[in-house]
Chains A and B, each alone.
Chain A
Amino acid sequence: MVAAPGLGKRSWVLETVVMPAALLGRKIGMTRIFDASGKNLPVTVIQAGPCYVSQIKTAQADGYDAVQLAFEDVKPRNSTIPLIGHDAKAGLSPKWRRREIRVTPEEAGQIQLGQALTVEVFDGVKFVDVVGTSKGKGFAGVMKRWGFKGQPASHGCERKHRSPGTIASRATNRGFSGRPKRGMHMGGHMGDRRVTVRSLELVACDKDRNLILVKGAVPGAKQGLVMVRAAKRLYKRKAKLAKAS
Chain B
Amino acid sequence: MSDQILQAVEKHYMKDSLPQLCVGDTVDVHVRIVEGNKERVQVFGGVIIRLQGAGLTRSMTVRRIVADEGVERTFPLHSPKVAKIEVKRHGHTRRAKLYYLRQRLGKEQRLRDRRRGLAHLIEPGAEGQDQAAGQEAVASEPATSTAAAGS
Contacts and interface: CB of A to CB of B under 8 A. Distances in A.
A7 interface: no
A184 to B, nearest CB: 40
B97 interface: no
Contact of B8 (A33, A34, A37, A209): A209
A231 interface: no
Contact of A40 (B1, B55, B79): B79
B80 interface: yes
A196 B34 CA distance: 38
Given A45-B9, A209-B8, A211-B9, A34 B2 contact: no
B32 A38 contact: yes
A209 B13 contact: no
Given A33-B13, A38-B32, A45 B5 contact: yes
Interface string A202-226: 0000100101010000000011000
B151 interface: no
B76 A34 contact: yes
- Which secondary structure dominates where chain A touches chain B? strand
Interface of B: 1-3, 5-6, 8-10, 13, 32, 34, 55-57, 76, 78-81
B60 to A, nearest CB: 15
Nearest to A38: B81
A47 interface: yes
A211 to B, nearest CB: 6
Contacts of B13: 33-34
A223 B32 CA distance: 38
16 contacts: A28-B5, A29-B6, A31-B6, A31-B9, A32-B76, A34-B78, A34-B79, A34-B81, A40-B79, A45-B5, A45-B6, A206-B9, A209-B5, A209-B8, A211-B5, A211-B9
B1 to A, nearest CB: 8
